[in-house]
Amino acid sequence: MTSAPDGSATRDTGQIKAVCLDIDDTLLDSERASRCGLRALVGSDRAWPVWQRTTDQFYSRFSSAEIDFDVLCVERTQAFFAAFGERIDAVEAARRESHRMAAMQHAWRLFDDVVPCLAWLRAAGLPLAAITNAPGRYQRDKLASVGLADAFDIVVISEEVGHSKPDPHIFGIAAEQLGREPGELLHVGDRFEADALGAVRAGLRGVWLNRAGHAVPEPVRGGSGVREVAAIGDLHELVDLVVPAPVPHGAVGREPRDLAGAPA
Ligand SMILES: [Mg+2]
């Protein structure tokens, strides 16, 4: 069952002609993998809030093109250890980051609902796009490592196109590459403002994937576009939002319970 973030019924979805998906914490359990990396770095993930806060700060600088990804990786590690009073030089930070990165990459896994969801969308004849805020090579390697190298018709990556979600330009680029109008696209992602609201404000259907059941973020509650956002608890529920798309004869059914039998 889908709903608006505040629990009220959503409007009619209309005809969805293509589906866009975020990657991190939408397709991949990136937090779990990142926690694994942190444990490899310092022996536990008790410092996760500090790591997460430091990561957000450096990703913000990366997204605005202030620093590149290699600098982010080294300076984030230095800043993280500095928060606990340890000063390390760039060489030592790079060595520790390499160890952390390897552990994290080893832990990259898809959520269980991803393969059946993508299979259903494919069976319904819908073109698929990935839209992600990340470094290009890093993100393409990530998709390949979990078996999704060829899963999408297009992959739109912020570093490669020069715009990051929620900037409407990145959604517009996806629409153009798919040969569709923004209003014919649905975008789903775990970040309420960057993914769901950003998509709505760019003219797409915006869907918030709220796997953890979080409350709607306060700064945007009631703000422009919030009522247009649909909320789902997992990707099985995405099926309900593309109901108007015809299911080809012989394809799997549209009920979420049917997804378990969808072709991989
Ligand atoms: Mg995400």
Question: Tens digits of per-residue pLDDT, 35-93?
Answer: 999 999 999 999 999 999 999 999 999 988 899 999 999 999 999 999 999 999 999 99
Residue 252, token pair as written in the block: 């799997």
Going by C-alpha positions, the residue among 192, 240, 187, 232 that lies closest to residue 211 is 232
CA distance 155 to 147: 14
Per-residue pLDDT band at 239 (split at 50, 70, 90): confident
Per-residue pLDDT band at 17 (split at 50, 70, 90): very high
Residue 225 is classified by DSSP as: T
| Distance from Cα 21 to the centre of ligand 1, integer Å | 9
Question: Tens digits of per-residue pLDDT, 134-192?
Answer: 999 999 999 999 999 999 999 999 999 999 999 999 999 999 999 999 999 999 999 99
The pTM assigned to this predicted structure is: 0.84
Q: What is the pLDDT of residue 1?
A: 45
| Distance from Cα 191 to the centre of ligand 1, integer Å | 6
Question: Tens digits of per-residue pLDDT, 183-213?
Answer: 999 999 999 999 999 999 999 999 999 999 9
Kindly tell me if the per-residue pLDDT of 4 is higher than 70: no
| Distance from Cα 63 to the centre of ligand 1, integer Å | 14
Long-range CB contacts (within 8 A, 24+) of 30-36? 30/108, 32/107, 32/109, 33/104, 33/105, 33/107, 33/108, 33/109, 34/104, 36/103, 36/104, 36/106, 36/107
Torsion (CA) 191, 197, 201, 206 in degrees, nearest 10: 90
Going by C-alpha positions, the residue among 112, 111, 114, 132 that lies closest to residue 122 is 114
| Distance from Cα 194 to the centre of ligand 1, integer Å | 9
Domains by residue range for the chain, with CATH? 18-29+109-261 (3.40.50.1000), 30-106 (1.10.150)
| Distance from Cα 39 to the centre of ligand 1, integer Å | 21
